[in-house]
Amino acid sequence: MHLLLAAHDDGAALQRLTPQGEPDPAAPEPRLIRSAELPGVVRELELRRPRWIWHRTQDWYPALLAAGVELERCYDLTLCGAILAHSEFTAHTDYARNAEKLTQDDDVEQPPRVLQPPPPPADQGALFDDPGLRAAPRHSPGELRTEYAAQQEALADVDPGGDRRKQRLQLLLAAESAGAMIAAEMQRTGVPWREELHEEILADHLGPRPPQGQRPAKLEALNTELRRLLQSPGLNPDSPQELMRALHRNGIEVKSTRQWELKESSHPAIEPLLAYKKLARLHSANGWAWLDAWVKDGRFQPEYVVGGVVSGRWASRGGGALQIPRQIRGAVHADPGHKLIVADASQLEPRVLVALAQDSRMAEAARDKDLYAGIAAQGFGGDRAKAKVALLGAIYGATTGESGRLMPQLARTYPRAVGFVEQAAREGEAGKTVTSRLGRSSPPPSDRWRRSQQSATAEEQRRADALARSRGRFTRNFVVQGSAADWAACWLAELRRRLRTLRAAGSPAGELVFFLHDEVMVHCREEAVDACSQAIEESAAAAKELLFGRIPVDFPVSIAVADSYDKAK
């Protein structure tokens, strides 16, 4: 059963649809439901395991969760529309031709939207309290139904071909929509966070909590030392302009204050400056102000942005959820009687490349062992470091320096794998797009980029060549990173399904509380550790088969069980 949920002045409009997006003949008209009644109606209908169709998961699901209603599956029109608008698999369809698209040179931090939502309100729970505070935009049932039907028509028009493109794209849309539900669930659950431990960490690194607007004691002491060593009594090291002038006055001729460049100088001020910068980052990014703003009742509850990067990786809005620094990971602590299970996919992107390129020799190097060690044994005289530099250079386009010197050996040993990313780079340099395993395509270059390739003078040609190579590096990495994001989305969705199955059977199970590219964190009772760990491993194996079938490439996950995040890494 397919159920469309749309905002209405008095609450919500609910309409049954056919799989193609037409009104269900058995109930052709939308049903109007008052806001206060919606959670109960949705809870009752969920027993029939429908697929909920809505403009944006974030418009509805957080408020349903707050009302105690969990759902199994949905179809997120905004996320799915962004994929269909850009996918090479649907490029020939009217849907893709008529969609407004982003290009590589535009702002691509947020996924392109087919239906643009307004910023969410601070209190998503107000959705069911006061219709005047509704989060959901006012797209009518007819508008959303038309959008869904157009998306299904585009899917139906995908030529399945020998590689089953339609099935792969359908899997991506399902995984992306499941990811939106997981993001809302993780935001509500939150990462378990011990505020007193965070306070202790800050006091240890920075000193006692200072009055608002003042530097912590250890930062102020370093600042005093810097002023003395740089002979600048009024120096504010937090000002890049002031700091650069002070460095230059003391003969430290650097072009930036980046760590690697500062380390090239032997001036006695460099060591305290680097120490200051490190502590200043902690203070500004995760200090007392961050703790007060983002941690409440023992939980850190950021908002995740599914598909926030064009490759399919997630982003976050507020709180820096995807950048929890090592210094404060000790504050991420399991509740009493619980454990944290932290699992990450080992060497995910290189293994995805093996599967994409179907490089049997590299697959053999990866079997039952560290991939880099296996490559080193086959082609680099056992030097693991060189093997790693060479392979990552191939994926990320680092073709100069040591990576460039090692590339010929890698290409001779693994011509299929290297040839795969080289072809992706050539496509990008020519202004074409590349596509992940399940069908997410890179944005095309902008008109400005295309005009740059029609250069006239020698100087313009050099700039055009540089831009072409830059785009080639982007597409070379996109096809691997995007496919890794496909795998991670399926891993996450499979894990959610297995954890829900455990709970439905009355078995102890944990909750997903954190996700970062190739890493998941589950918070569970101690007696559920074995079952949750098994679910994590089985989900990884299932994700591999969903993407690539039964291939001779392993996608192992390393699992650590600990009381705190710092002990698991």
Query: What is the reported pLDDT for 148?
Result: 97
Please return the burial class of 80, using the count of CB atoms within 10 Å of its CB with bins 0-12, 13-18 and 19+.
buried
Return d(Cα 72, Cα 47) in angstroms, integer.
Answer: 10
Average pLDDT over residues 448-468: 86
The more confidently predicted of residues 132 and 499 is: 499
Q: Are 14 and 112 members of one domain? A: yes
- Cα dihedral 235/241/244/246 (nearest 10): -30
Question: For 142-174, what is each residue's pLDDT tens digit?
Answer: 999 999 999 999 999 997 665 689 999 999 999
Based on the fold, state whether residues 469 and 354 are members of the same structural domain: yes
Average pLDDT value for residue range 192-200? 97
Closest CA to 437 of 246, 126, 184, 167: 167
| CA 335 – CA 324 distance, rounded (Å) | 19
Residue 456 placed within a domain: yes
- At 509 the pLDDT is 85
Q: Report the candidate in 438, 539, 435 with the shortest Cα–Cα distance to residue 172.
A: 438
Round to whole Å and give the CA distance between 558 and 540. Answer: 11
Query: Is residue 127 predicted with pLDDT exceeding 70?
Result: no
Asked whether residue 17 falls in the same domain as residue 103, the answer is yes
pLDDT (mean) for 318-325: 85
Residues 16 and 149 in one domain: yes
Residue 458 within any structural domain of the chain: yes
- Looking up residue 432, the CATH number of its domain turns out to be 1.10.150.20
> What CA–CA distance (Å, rounded) separates 76 from 117?
12
The Cα–Cα gap between 77 and 95 comes to 13
Unique residue bearing structure tokens 């869904």: 148
Tokens of 569: 């890494």
Cβ 145 vs Cβ 21: under 8 Å: yes
Q: Is the residue at 297 inside a domain?
A: no
Q: How confident is the model at residue 107 (pLDDT cuts 50, 70, 90)?
A: very low
Note down the domain range covering 216. 196-291
How would residue 129 be classed by pLDDT, with cut points 50, 70 and 90?
A: very low
Q: What span, in angstroms and rounded, lies between the C-alpha atoms of 339 and 523?
A: 6
Query: How far out from the chain centre does Cα 60 lie?
Result: 21
One domain, residues 275 and 405: no
Q: What is the pTM of this model?
A: 0.90
Q: What is the CATH number of the domain that holds 337?
A: 3.30.70.370
Residue 426: name the closest of 395, 472, 391 by CA: 472
> Are both 459 and 381 inside the same structural domain?
yes
For residue 10, what is the domain's CATH number?
A: 3.30.420
Burial class (CB in 10 A: 0-12, 13-18, 19+), 196: exposed
Same domain, 118 and 229: no
Rounded-to-integer distance, Cα 346 and Cα 348, Å: 5
Give the chain's mean pLDDT: 90
399 located within any domain: yes
321 and 403 co-located in one domain: no
**Domain annotation covers residue 428:** yes
**Same domain flag for 398 and 320:** no
Say if 540 falls within a structural domain. yes
Query: Residue 388 carries which DSSP code?
Result: H
CATH of the domain at 236: 1.20.1060
**Cα–Cα distance, 51 to 188 (Å, whole number):** 21
The answer for residues whose C-beta is within 8 angstroms of residue 76's C-beta and 6 or more apart is 54, 56, 57, 176, 177, 180
Question: Which pLDDT does position 100 carry in this prediction?
Answer: 74
Instruction: Return the closest-CA partner of residue 95 out of 109, 108, 83, 107.
Output: 83
Give the integer Cα–Cα distance in Å for 426 and 424. 5
If one counts the domains in the chain, the total is 4
Are both 327 and 184 inside the same structural domain? Answer: no
If asked whether residues 468 and 495 sit together in one domain, one would say: no
Least confident span in 51-65, 94-108, 405-419: 94-108
Please give the C-alpha separations between residue 259 and each of 219, 256, 272, 278, in angstroms, as whole numbers: 18, 9, 12, 10
In a domain, 296, yes or no: no
In a domain, 218, yes or no: yes
Do 354 and 336 reside in the same domain of the chain?
no
By CB atoms closer than 10 A (0-12, 13-18, 19+), residue 412 is exposed
Asked if the model's pLDDT at residue 324 lies above 80, the reply is yes
Domain boundary among 459, 481, 503: 481
Amino acid at 332: V
Domain boundary among 481, 500, 530: 481
Place of tokens 């699901």: 61
For residue 403, the model assigns a pLDDT of 85
Distance, CA of 562 to CA of 547 (rounded, Å): 31
Q: Which of 291, 310, 327 is the last residue in one of the domains?
A: 291
